[in-house]
Every structure is written in structure tokens, then in C-alpha cells.
Amino acid sequence: MRTVRTSIFAIGLCLLMTCTSAHGAVVDLSASFEQPVSTEGGGRTLLVEEITATGCSTCAEIDPELLRVADSHGSRIALVALHPSTTADAFQPEASKERIERLEITQSGLNQTPTFLVESGAARRGYDAWQDVQRDILNEEVSRQITSKIDVSVVKTERGYRASVAHADLVQINGTQLTMMVVQHGKIVPEGALNVGLDHRDRVLVGMAECSLENNTVIRAIDVQNASVGESCADSFAVEFENYESWSVVLVHESTEEELHEGGRTTTYGVVELAHRDRAEVNPSSSLAGRVLLVSCVMLAVASILRKK
């Protein structure tokens, strides 16, 4: 009987994951942001980082589909593209370089593209990696119990936009930081640059700032107009960035690099994304993802019951 109850709980959990979002926000391009726009109830989103390059032929095949994949997951994941500082990439943003170096504190062999990491977990490489990525996402959702509750707000400025922490109820302070990522969609590949795909790329990490929660100071700001904090990161951390036509702001509560070097937690404490872009056209096959996930969970639960009989 106990096994049956456990299996029924597992089915309920799958229903929950396939029917709910993590409360991020996608705001279409018609929005002016003259008044602040905020997420609500954020924090449970998972961070998925992809190491990619404009000169990578495999990346060129799959990258156009990834925005549809992200939308099919709703706000369950924030998908960020990291373009390395190599001759195989036309962008080579400094923020991406710093982010890859952070991942290399606990990972090795991140020089292959494409490579996907769910919550800084196992590196999944190559064209067929997405099946493992999906499994990693599900495993993280099942294992994650308590997250920081964080929200971000964005408003238009004279020179671009200003993103700030709207709410932060944090589960950990010591050894952690708030990271604000600025992601550009539809970033044009420079003419004449190495490029084996479309004339643009989406989800490109172009700017970033970090605020230490232990001493409430901005410890890093890369390719943003300004990064500031008042009395505390949790109340007043803000980043100003350029007037991109289409963008996302991803707010992350995570360990500091010093904590990672000391063997600290590699997964995030909380993530939320506010995106200013049009939603991708949904591929009919991707609309089956939630139902496939649910059926798989039910089959696993039933198998568990039969195995115990």
C-alpha cells in the first residue's frame, strides 16, 4: 500500500510539472516598458547554459529550434547561449568568457560545441545531447525542494533599460551572490565573420553583473552601462544595459566563485527570467512534450507497483 501511495504521489508530481510554470515572463516586442514590468513568484526556473559558436555547423542546425524548445518548457528553464573567445565565434563576448571560466571551476573539457549544462551539472555534448538534457531537467525538478524566491523588474531609460531586483527571499546568504545576466536575441552576425548558420543568433549572453550578498557590493560588471547597489543586493541591486531590440534579463542566486573553489554548491538557489521578445512559433511535435513526460512518469509509477507485487 505504501508503494502505491508513493507511486500515486509521483504521478501527481508529474502532473504538476507538466501543467505549471515557474512564473517568469515573456513580454512581446510591442511593450514600451515606460512603466516597470516585473516577474511574479519567480525562483523555480532552472538555468540551462549552452556553449555554442557561430562557426559550429552542428550548433547552426539545432540553435534555431532551441527558442521553440525553451517556449515549450514555459518558464521551467532559462536557456542562455555562451559564445567562447575562440576563432570559431564571431561574437566572443567577455561575459560569456567569464561564465565559461566559472563553469570550468567544477567542469573540464568544455571546449566542444555544442555543450549543454543543466544547473552546472554533467556536460552534455553534440547533436543528440538534448535527450540527456531533458532528463537532467526532470531530475533537477524532482530533486529540488526549496528555492530562493526572487523577482526582477525592468523599466525603460533614456539610454536603454534598467533591471533591478524586485523581490528577494533568499534561502542562503553566506558564500552566495546575485548575478544579473543580459541576453540578446536576434544578435546579427557581423558581415564577413565566420558563420555557418543564420545571419543572427538568439539567447547570446552579452552582459553580466554580480553582487556579493555577504558584503553587499558589486564584485563584477561586464559590458553593461552601469551596475549599482544601495544598502543590500537583495533590495537594490540594479543593472543598466543598452537599448537592444529584443532581450532577456536572467536573475540568478548562486554560489560565489570562491565558494565553488572550496567545494560549495554548484546548482543555483533560484533563477527567474524576464524576456522581451516574441514567442517562437510552436512546433506541433513540441506540444507533445508535456504529454510524453506525463505518460513516461505514469509508466514508471505503474512499473514500480508491479515490481513490488
Give residue-wise pLDDT tens across range 157-214. Answer: 999 999 999 999 999 999 999 999 999 999 999 999 999 999 999 999 999 999 999 9
Task: State pTM to two decimals.
Answer: 0.85
What's 303's domain CATH number? 3.40.30.10
Q: Please check whether residue 261 lies inside any domain of the structure.
A: yes
Residue 192 within a domain: yes
Sheet with 226-228: list strands edge to edge: 37-38, 149-156, 160-169, 238-242, 226-228
Q: How many domains does the chain have?
A: 1
The answer to whether residue 287 sits within a structural domain is no
**Domain that residue 199 falls in:** 2-280+292-308
- Identify whether 285 is part of a domain: no
pLDDT higher than 80, residue 302: no
**289 has a pLDDT exceeding 90:** no
Tell me if 163 is assigned to some domain.
yes
- Top pLDDT among 112 and 14 is at 112
Mean pLDDT, the chain, whole residue set? 86
Is 151 a member of any domain?
Answer: yes
pLDDT of residue 113: 92
pLDDT given for residue 282 in this prediction: 53
In a domain, residue 286? The reply is: no
For residue 127, what is the DSSP state?
G
